[in-house]
Structure 1
Amino acid sequence: MIYILAVFLPPLALLLNGQPFAAVLNLVLLAVCVVLTVLTLFAFPFLLLLPSAHAVIAIAMRRDDRRHREIVDAIERHGPPPGWRR
């Protein structure tokens, strides 16, 4: 669900994901892309995909970091998995 929101409303998706600085950066990126697209008379409409791509990548990276942190915390709390060789 957050990825769909990231495609259509990238700054809001980043805010809801807990990334306020990335949301501000994405809002600036979105404004620049809209201005450049309008100034070039829509010659480069693919520029509007950049903020969405940034949001999707940032959300995916944040989720991966959370997942890795949970795994490391579980290993620290309970020890290595059975059968793990040193």
Structure 2
Amino acid sequence: MIYVLAALLPPIGLLVNGQPFSAVFNLVLIVFCAIFGLVFHILLLVPSAHALIAVHMKRERRMHREVVEAIRQHGPPPGYPH
């Protein structure tokens, strides 16, 4: 659901995901791309792409942190070479 929000309303999606600085940067990016997107239409997709990539990276970082914490608490999985 967060990916749909990030694609359709990039700054809102970033704020909901807990990335206020990325949301502000995305607003600046929207203004820049709206101006130059009149000539280069592909630029209109850049803010949504930025939001999708930022949301994905934050979620991957969270998941990685959870796995590392689980390994610290419970040790490596069985059969894992030391």
Q: Same fold (TM over 0.5)?
A: yes
Gaps of 5+ in 1: none
Gaps of 5+ in 2: none
Partner of 1:27: 27
**Shift in Å at residue 36 of structure 1?**
1.6
Indicate the RMSD between aligned Cα atoms, in angstroms: 0.8
Identity among equivalent positions (%) equals 59
Q: Residue 57 of structure 2: SS of its match in structure 1?
A: helix
Partner of 1:43: 39
The CA distance in 2 between the partners of 1:25 and 1:12, in whole Å, is 12
Aligned pairs for 1:33-72 (under 5 A) are 33-37=33-37, 42-72=38-68
Q: Residue 56 of structure 1: SS of its match in structure 2?
A: helix
The CA distance in 1 between the partners of 2:20 and 2:46, in whole Å, is 18
Give the number of aligned pairs: 82
The code of the aligned residue for 2:6 comes to A
Q: Residue 85 of structure 1: SS of its match in structure 2?
A: coil
Partner of 1:5: 5
TM-score (norm 1): 0.91
Runs of 4+ in 1 over 3 A off after TM superposition: none
